[in-house]
Each structure stands twice: as structure tokens, then as C-alpha cells.
Structure 1
């Protein structure tokens, strides 16, 4: 089994308070005037963030929230998010981050499944939340900009941080999945703590001089753990962008002197597509990190050349807190690989019989270590299925090379079987990305009466590109095995989720 024995900072000792909210109070004591969060013209110092979260805790306590209660948080990337988030944690309560774009019925499901007692909602998303509250009986606390500040000021700060043990649940993340209802992954204080500390100390090498780009949704594991929590643990500044836009992102990098950019592949594609990107001063950037889905090698090279930095790809899931593997900055990396296991984590590739496969062979990626969730909330059967033989089964297909580097081939459910041949969509997508007219590509299988499945490609062209669907098909046919090239090629917009991940299940090609 592949593992990494690199040393890392010791996580919170089991005899002390494992509540990760202690990170904020510690930073406020050490560097009270240092900027913790920036959003537009607003700058919040660590002392002010600590005070605001303590008042938010008092507000929530006045509404009956106590240790162990589940509290939903529905907000985009605004400064109120960390204020409410750490306020919830101070009470020892559990955060249930909820996608602001969900409709009332979807919210109701999450609230009922996780038994949410109180929800903290930004006013613009209150209508759907109020509808959901009628079905669930959940109390909704609405944060109205310009009014909530006075409401918080009216409460005496709750400076006490409720004691939590390492195995206590701190957050429940609902995974979208490919079929069925979302499942709530329970992450513990230790899951988050170990993942954050390892990320800061061995991957990002972050600290008080760093400014981290906050464009990833904070309700999602990647943005929440790797951007917000790593910022607070390391004493860095988090520069928020409520809704990702590549031009606005470049402006933030220039204005705030961003040092670490965290993004998903579609964000990097969007940055490369900005016509005058070279006119922005991005010289402050020292590191870029990609996760969430596979990064095309062509995009990786384009980002590194354009912005003169190192772009490191990692891999993980909500269930793994999220980081599981990473191309470490102080070691050689391999383009196309998602790196080696981080500290405290083991990786293996297994066949259908759950037996480990030798290096080079493709199978399902399985993971174990201190980053693995406690389980799926109220779903013992789903937990048992995912955690077979002591390993978390990711549902991703991958292979390990002789050096222990992991290469993600595709999702198990995305693999296409054409005439009994296995076709991995990512391989075809990687080729399509090298075509000069292609901005984005997604390859899926569609039912076929003779071949079982046929290969189809949905492509977004670059601005002003002139190429036909037939030309793309013929170009691909010349460069890949006959059973792999897409017989069906369509131009159009590729559906994406709130984190920028391509939603292949929503691609409909006839």
C-alpha cells in the first residue's frame, strides 16, 4: 500500500480542547491587527473576526443552540460566512454547510436528514429557506447586511469555546453523488484538524505573510478546509470572491497581492481564456493548487507558463476531508498525476475482488488514514459499503506508478464500454484539449443498440474559433485508437456544479 511517512505538525492533543475554533482565538491573541478576511473594500482583522464570531455564538445560544446541535449555514463567499461558521463551532455545535443555490425541497431534505435545528441564512437566500422551514420546523436566523452588525453588537461575546473531543463531529458535508439522494459525510474535529495542519505545514507552506484566494465555495470541502480553515490556522489572509469571475479574480490577485491560488480546472481554463490576462500584475503568486476534478495536462502547462508559477494538483473527496494525495512542492512532481499520499494517509488500487493490483494496473482507488470521515449520517449500509475491509472506496479509477504516484483515470461510473473495450473519457478529453479551437470538453457514453455504448463529446469552443463538428471528429480519429474516438461531437455549454465541477450526469446528447 502506498503511504507517506513525511513528518507533520502534531494535531491537537487529545487531553486538550480539540475544537478547531481555538485556532481563531489563538491568532487573535498573537496578531490581533493582522488582516484575516478581505472582501472588496472590507478588511476584517483577526481580533475583529474573533469578536464577531463570539457575538454570533452568543446570538445562536440565545436561540437555544448547544453543543452537538446541527446548524445549517447558507451563504456564498462573504465575510459573514467565517463569522457564523466559527460562531457555530465555539458552541460545540455542528456546521451543515448548504449550497445557497438549492431550492426549498432540496434544503428540506438536508435539514430533515441532518436534524438541523437552526439555520443561519444570508437574506438573499432567505425565501427558499423560509419555505423549507415550513416543512421542517427549523428556525431561520437571517443575516441582513447593515442590520446584523447591530444585532451582533447587542450580544455580549461568548468568549468560552466549548470543549470537543477529536472524534466529535464538526461538520456534515452533503455529497452530490451521481445517483440517488445526497449523503451527509460526517467529518470529525480530528479529520479537519489533521488535514488542515498537513496542508499548511507540508503542502502550502502557508503563514502570516500569505494571502489565499477565496474563490472556491466555502460550503464545499475544498474551499472550507483548504482555503478558509488553512488561512485561520496559518494566520494568513483570505481574499474572498463571492461569485467566481476570471477577470475579477485577476483583479483580486493584483490588488491583494495573492500568494496562493486555489481552484478547480474550470477556473484555470477561464483564467487562460481572459484576452488581456498578461496586463494584470500576478507576480505575487508563488503557488497554485488544483483539485475537485482531473486537470488536463495542457491546462497545467498553460497556467505555469502564463503566470510563471508551480501548479500542483491534488486529489480528494468530501469523505476524505478532502486532501488525500498531493504533488508536494518540495519534491519532484509528475504532470498528469495527483501526487503521493499526504502524511497519515495510505492509498491502494484494487480490482473488483478488492485485492490490491500491482503498479501500472487500473482499478478502484481506496484510501485509509486520519482524513477518512466517521461515516455517512444515518446510513449504516452506505457507510459499510464505502468502508469495506477498512478502506474507503472512492469510486474513482486510477493507477499507481512504480514511485507511488497516483494517476486518476476516471470515475468508475463514467467509464464507457464500447464493443467490450473500456474507454476512459479523461483520455479522450486530454486529447481534445490539445486542439487549438477547444476551450472545454466533456466525453460521455450514450446507449447504442450495436456497440453497447457510443462515445460522445460535448465541446465548448474558444472565442472566434472556426471549426466544424466533423473536423473535430476527423482530427481526433487520426490521433487515437479507432474504438476510442468520439463518433458524436456536439458544440455547446458544458453543465457545471457550484464548485465548477463538470456534471456529466446532466449532459444529454442524442
Structure 2
């Protein structure tokens, strides 16, 4: 029996074959669940003829497309393992993932083909298949991908896939050290879908999602997109994100639910088009991947976007907890409470729960938690202890059960013997009217051990000095928490998923990219 995610289109084809599963935002092409099942059957058969079978890894270095999701489902139908890769990496970084995963086949986009071929040299990759770009699809050009589907039979050939079988290797962003492949099972995705039924305002089969963040990341793939495939809803896929394209797609396709990282929500909020955009269909949006400034939540609310904030990790596939829409401003800074089938606790170094309000490490357990890191038993043993996943995040939980992520362990700044949590300083500085973006880091300091340093991108047309920002911040938080130095940049360096690359900031101003060691 197929208990994998590849069986989801088959089940929905029986229940409601003509309901739309996927929409290509570039071409407007719609794929019903019946079409999705038949196309992924044929793709799976074609891959089988190329020697792909149970346990084999198939990598994807592609921009967003409905076809990318077809590959994920077809691979799952074979009992094989999908390996989505960040296309913003350099060739040596991609090559590391290909070698580490042992991928045998690689799907690419025209925009990533040169990178893919350079990275695949010297690896076990025996074939590269190109998925057409949005421009090529719109022009109706013949493609290698469609030819591959045409090779296969669309008859369903079920493979015995167990719920606990591996479905994906999702590599961590690699902001420090080499990336690790988080092993996610079919059951992890299944339970993540179940959790979504009641997370926040919940999602249902009549919802329309927009996938605009990169689908190689667990946020874009796992927060709403995969859960809606499980539930039987519809997803509109944008090849790449621009705020105006997002606004147009929401209005055109009557999008009801949407995930984006704070940098994307900020771009949407700053677009002049948001003033006249039709957002009436949008029930709620979810912000995740990084803390969302409360001023941005307030501004989006004024534009009619009901925003909730979620927290999750690659290793939890990803949803862990949600701050409800009606709590987003009142409890700003909190990530809310656990989703239905997840347990959380804040623990000390021995794994024992600490009292409310006390800072400790956030631990998570539930059926959505990964089963370990690919080929890294020591890292797995460190992360998974006594049934709990040790996230590496510092957090608190208050008397009412609201969790707050204080900082990453590795990013905690110790200055003059005092602990400073960068997120607190950042949230304060975001309140300054001239600050568009801010990242707070600790730099080596002979006197204080570490010096609190802010890197700021000012809003266009705004003028503010280092001294003004330091004085302004000291009026609002303790002096030892306030930055001793402020550096100005045009824009903060970010990963493709919107997380600030603090290692690049440390490298620029200290010559050492790592968090200060203690």
C-alpha cells in the first residue's frame, strides 16, 4: 500500500477529479487532481525506466513551477527521495549537496542549467533533465520535460511506501558550516498537513494558496503548499517573487491563504500597487522564517492583510507553533502556541523544563519531527535526545503558554558579562522611523568580550546618524543592550529564504564569519 505523499493526487482524483490542484501563474494553465495524478504517474514510469527506484535520490535545482511539484510527487510514487537544492548557492556548494546525498538524477531550470552542469561534474549524477522556464511554457515551446512525461505510461503502478519511509532530504541553509540533510518522512508531511487544519484560522479544501517563496525551502513547500495538496486545495505557483506579480496573482486567482517571509511581506507592503490591490479574497497570511517587525504587521493590517506569525524549522517539516491573527499585534514578538500535535518545552542544559519566563533551549517533539541528519550520526544524536528535538533556539514561555524565541544559541551576545539577545535590540530599532532593516551582531571586543553592533539599512530618503540611532535606542532599552557601533549598508545580505546572513556581516567587520566563541 502506498502511504506516501505521492498517493495524495491519486486519492483526490477519486474524490474530486475535476478540482484544480495547481495553477501556473505564468501561463494560467490549470491542472486538476486527475491531470496531476496522470502526469505524475507517467513521470514516475519514465523515471523508473531510467533506473530510479526505492531509496534513490533525485535532486531539483529549479525555480518554482507546477512541474517542480510534479517531480516531488512522482519521485515519492517510486519510493525514491527528493532533494530540493537552493539555486542561489555556488557550484561547489551545490556539488557538496549532490555528493552528500548521492543524487542520481538532477532536474534543472534553464536559468540554473549552467550552474547544475558545473556542480554535477565528478558526482554520481548520471542525467540532467531541464524543466522549461515560465517564458518557454508561455510560448508553448517543446521541452525535454514534457517529452519525458510522454515516454511514460499514465497507468498507476502503486509501490509499497511506508509512512516512515524517507521522502525528502531538505538541506539546512548552511549559514554556518556545511549544510546538513534533514531526513523527512512521508509521515512527517502527513502530520504537518493535519496540524494545518487547525493552525491559526486553519486551511481547507476550498482554499487557494500562492507559492511565491522558493519551493526548495521548507517554508514555501511545507507551511501551506504540501498541506493543501494533502487536504485537496489549490496552489498558484509563481516562478519568482515580485510584489506586483504577487498582488496581481492574489486578485486574479482569488487567493485565500499565503505564506511569505518578512522581507517579502515588507516588499508587498511597500509596493504602491498595494493601495489599490484587491485583497478581499485573502483570509489570512502567514509570516515565518524570521521575526516579523511589529510595525510591518501593523502596516499590513491597515492594508487589509490579516497576518499571523508562525515558527518552524526544516527539521519539523516545518510547522511548530502559530501566533493567531487576532494576537499578532498584542503579542508581537511571540511565536504563539504549539500546533495541535506538537509538544514544546523550554529546558535547561540537562533537558529539564525551566519555570515560566526563564530562558532556556526550545525542545520540540511530535510526529512531524524529522528522523535525523543524512549520514551524520553524531549531529543526529546531538539534535535528537530522549525523544525531543533540541532546536538550538533560546526561548521563554510565559504563564499563559505563549512562547517567545529569544535568539539562536550561537548568536547570543555576551558583553561585559551580560547576555544580550539580538532580536530584542532589532525589534526596538525597527521602531525608528528611518530604519528599514537592521541586524544586530556581536563583534570581538578586548574590554567587553563582545561589542553589540548594529548594521542598518535606512529607508529611502531618510537621514540618520550613528550617534542619533545609538542615543535613540538607549532611551528605550538598557545601555548595555544598545549598540556601541552602527554601520550603514544599502541592503542586508539575506539567504534566498529571507534570513539575514549574519556571518557575512561578521566577516565584513571583524574578519571572522562565525559567531563569537565563548
User: Does the CA contact (< 8 Å) of 2:284 and 2:305 recur in 1?
Assistant: no
Paired residues in the alignment total: 494
Counterparts of 1:423 and 1:331 in 2: how far apart (Å)?
Answer: 26
In structure 2, stretches of 5+ residues that fail to align are 133-141, 511-518
Of the structure 1 ranges 30-39 and 81-90, higher mean CA displacement relative to structure 2 is found in 30-39
TM-score by length of 2: 0.91
Aligned match of 1:37: 22
**1:170 aligned to 2:167?**
yes
Aligned match of 1:100: 87
Query: Structure 1's 117 and 242: CA in aligned 2 closer, same or farther, altered over 3 A?
Result: same
How far 1:45 moved relative to its partner? 2.0
**1:23 aligned to 2:8?**
yes
**1:503 aligned to 2:501?**
yes
**How do 1:260-339 residues align onto structure 2 when only pairs under 5 Å count?**
260-309=257-306, 311-328=307-324, 334-339=331-336
Aligned match of 1:89: 76
Aligned match of 1:3: none
**How do 1:185-334 residues align onto structure 2 when only pairs under 5 Å count?**
185-309=182-306, 311-328=307-324, 334=331
Aligned match of 1:388: 385
User: Does the CA contact (< 8 Å) of 2:244 and 2:268 recur in 1?
Assistant: yes
User: Does the CA contact (< 8 Å) of 2:362 and 2:390 recur in 1?
Assistant: yes
Of the structure 1 ranges 122-131 and 360-369, higher mean CA displacement relative to structure 2 is found in 122-131
Query: Secondary structure of the residue that 1:135 maps to in structure 2?
Result: coil
Counterparts of 1:390 and 1:89 in 2: how far apart (Å)?
Answer: 27
Of the structure 1 ranges 388-397 and 428-437, higher mean CA displacement relative to structure 2 is found in 388-397
Query: Structure 1's 410 and 100: CA in aligned 2 closer, same or farther, altered over 3 A?
Result: same
How far 1:254 moved relative to its partner? 1.6
Of the structure 1 ranges 87-96 and 466-475, higher mean CA displacement relative to structure 2 is found in 466-475
Query: Secondary structure of the residue that 2:280 maps to in structure 1?
Result: coil
Aligned match of 1:368: 365
Query: Structure 1's 367 and 485: CA in aligned 2 closer, same or farther, altered over 3 A?
Result: same
Aligned partner of 1:51 among 38, 47, 69: 38
- Describe the superposition over 1:220-262 as per-residue Cα deviations: whole angstroms up to 9, x where unpaired: 1111122321221222221122222222211211222111111
TM-score by length of 1: 0.92
**How do 1:393-432 residues align onto structure 2 when only pairs under 5 Å count?**
393-432=390-429
User: Does the CA contact (< 8 Å) of 2:190 and 2:230 recur in 1?
Assistant: no
Of the structure 1 ranges 474-483 and 411-420, higher mean CA displacement relative to structure 2 is found in 474-483
How far 1:319 moved relative to its partner? 0.7
- Describe the superposition over 1:186-240 as per-residue Cα deviations: whole angstroms up to 9, x where unpaired: 0111111101121134445323332111112111111112232122122222112
Counterparts of 1:327 and 1:370 in 2: how far apart (Å)?
Answer: 21
Counterparts of 1:206 and 1:119 in 2: how far apart (Å)?
Answer: 33
Query: Structure 1's 205 and 478: CA in aligned 2 closer, same or farther, altered over 3 A?
Result: closer
Counterparts of 2:198 and 2:461 in 1: how far apart (Å)?
Answer: 44
In structure 1, stretches of 5+ residues that fail to align are 1-15
Q: Which has the higher contact order (CA 8 A, sep 6+)?
A: 1
- Describe the superposition over 1:109-160 as per-residue Cα deviations: whole angstroms up to 9, x where unpaired: 1122112122222233222222233211312232252312233223222412
Query: Secondary structure of the residue that 2:382 maps to in structure 1?
Result: helix
Of the structure 1 ranges 211-220 and 130-139, higher mean CA displacement relative to structure 2 is found in 130-139
User: Does the CA contact (< 8 Å) of 1:133 and 1:140 recur in 2?
Assistant: no
